[in-house]
A = this chain, B = another copy of it.
C-alpha cells in the first residue's frame, strides 16, 4: 500500500464509499509489509551522514563497480572494504574518481560534500603485521568524518614506546586498539586513559594464536576495565562503532 493508495482509501472512507470497519481491515491485512507510511527504512533514516559501505571480499571487480555506481547516486560517500590491489587497479582504470588505500585495502568514492564531523579517534596497534586491520579502521573513521590519530607499533613488550605516546592517547575521544598474538594492548591502554576503548583482535600470529582466538579471548577477559570488543580483523566494525560515539558528541546539524 503506497501513501497514494492510503490517501485514496482515506478519501473513499471520508466520502462514505468505504466503511470504517473495512478501512481498518485493509490496514490490518498489510500491517508491516507495504503500509507505506507506517514502514520505516530505519537504516537509511538513522544513519544519515554515514557513507554507504560495501564488503568487497568475494565480489568481482565488475560487481563492485556496479554497486558503487548505484550507491554513489544517493549518498555522499561510498566505502568498499577488503579489496585486493589487483581488483582495485582494475576498477580504478574505469572509475578514476575512486581512491585506493593499499594498506587498508579500502576503495573510497567521495562525493563533492566531504563530511567533517570533527570526532577525534585514536587508532593504536601493537605490531607491524596488525597494520592492515588498523588502517582499515583508520580509513573508515576518516571517511566517517573523524580526525584520526595513528599510534602504531606500540606493543606491550616495549612499554616505553607506548608511554611516550601517553598525551596523544589521552586526547582522543574514542580509542580503537588493534592487536594480534596475546591481545594484551587494550588492557594496558585501559589503564592509561578514561575514554571508551574498542578492541580489535587480529588473526596475526601462529600456533596457539589459533587465527585470532587467543587475542579475542584475551580482550574479552580484560573487559572489567571497560574495554569492548569486535570480531577478529574487523577494523571496519570498530571504526563504525567509534563513529557512533563521536556522532553523539558532534551531532550533524
Question: How big is chain A's contact interface, by range?
Answer: 35 or more
Contact with B along A11-37 (1 / 0, CB 8 A): 101100000100110011011111101
Cβ–Cβ < 8 Å partners of A146 in chain B: none
Contact with B along A204-226 (1 / 0, CB 8 A): 01111111111111111111111
A207 and B221 contact, Cβ closer than 8 Å, known pairs A226-B237, A229-B229: yes
Contact with B along A28-58 (1 / 0, CB 8 A): 1011111101111111001100000001011
Contact of A30 among B13, B167, B184, B213 (CB under 8 A): B167
For the complex, is A62 an interface residue (Cβ under 8 Å from B)? no
Cβ–Cβ < 8 Å partners of A136 in chain B: none
CA distance A47 to B248 in the complex (A): 21
- Pairwise interchain contact B203-A232, C-beta atoms closer than 8 A: no
Which chain B residue shows the least CB distance to A41? B160
For the complex, is A182 an interface residue (Cβ under 8 Å from B)? yes
CA distance A84 to B246 in the complex (A): 38
- Pairwise interchain contact A164-B33, C-beta atoms closer than 8 A: yes
- Pairwise interchain contact A159-B42, C-beta atoms closer than 8 A: yes
Contact of A234 among B13, B164, B224, B230 (CB under 8 A): B224
Most buried by B among A203, A208, A229, A241: A208
- Pairwise interchain contact B245-A163, C-beta atoms closer than 8 A: no
Which stretch in A96-104, A105-113, A187-195 binds the other chain? A187-195
